[in-house]
């Protein structure tokens, strides 16, 4: 990955990490655990929740395992995506989103033994989605975005995406001509 792409990844990761930390600190310092504030009626609330599990409450009380998996995920993101991000600012930005989110939740797990979640979305007096935070959102949006970008890139090339690390989101002049 070029120095410019690495700087972009780092800047996006830092922005996500700082936004996540600020949001969690505000929730922790202003709301007792279990309390909620309506933001958009009962549809969207800010709720102070502690999550000892993974995303969507999976693997509760597995902080050590999840911390180890999070460290592995950070390394996988950096080493796997570095080739993909080499020629694409957008893919580099998605890498930064995922990296910043993974580090944000890892800091919670290591420092507190749980992750602070606070965004609560659901149907009034009905089912609610699992609570989440800025880090979770960044990871999910980053994964969806990189998937769409790689699909778009493959489609622009007219075939399977080359995993050689030279992928670009710019229109390829060497794309196969239509016959």
Q: Work out the burial of residue 164: count CB atoms within 10 Å of its CB; fewer than 13 is exposed, 13-18 middle, 19 or more buried.
A: exposed
Edge to edge, the sheet with strand 44-51 lists 36-40, 44-51, 115-121
117 counts as catalytic: yes
Q: Which pair of structure tokens corresponds to residue 24?
A: 């969690």
DSSP state at residue 86: T
Could you say which of 108, 117, 120, 125 is catalytic?
117
Report helix angle 89-112 to 3-30, nearest 10.
Answer: 40
120 counts as catalytic: no
Could you say which of 20, 87, 108, 136 is catalytic?
136
DSSP string, 120-153: EEB-TTS-BPPPB-HHHHHHHHHHHHHHHHHHHH
Cβ(88)–Cβ(8) below 8 Å = no
- Nearest by Cα to 87 from 95, 98, 77: 95
Q: Which pair of structure tokens corresponds to residue 120?
A: 């609560």
Known catalytic residues are 117, 136
């Amino acid at each position: 990955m070029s120095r410019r792409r690495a700087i972009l990844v780092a800047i996006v990761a830092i922005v996500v990490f700082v936004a996540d930390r600020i949001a969690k600190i505000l929730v922790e310092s202003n709301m007792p655990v279990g309390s909620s504030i309506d933001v958009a009626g009962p549809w969207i609330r800010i709720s102070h929740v502690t999550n000892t599990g993974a995303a969507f409450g999976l693997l509760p009380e597995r902080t050590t395992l999840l911390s180890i998996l999070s460290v592995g995920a950070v390394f996988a993101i950096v080493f796997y995506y570095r080739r993909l991000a080499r020629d694409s600012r957008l893919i580099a930005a998605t890498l930064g989103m995922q990296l910043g989110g993974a580090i944000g939740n890892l800091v919670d797990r290591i420092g507190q033994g749980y992750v602070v979640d606070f965004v609560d979305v659901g149907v009034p007096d009905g089912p609610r989605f699992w609570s989440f935070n800025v880090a979770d959102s960044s990871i999910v949006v980053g994964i969806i975005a990189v998937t769409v970008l790689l699909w778009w890139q493959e489609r622009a090339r007219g075939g399977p995406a080359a995993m050689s690390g030279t992928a670009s989101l710019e229109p390829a002049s060497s794309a196969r001509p239509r016959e």
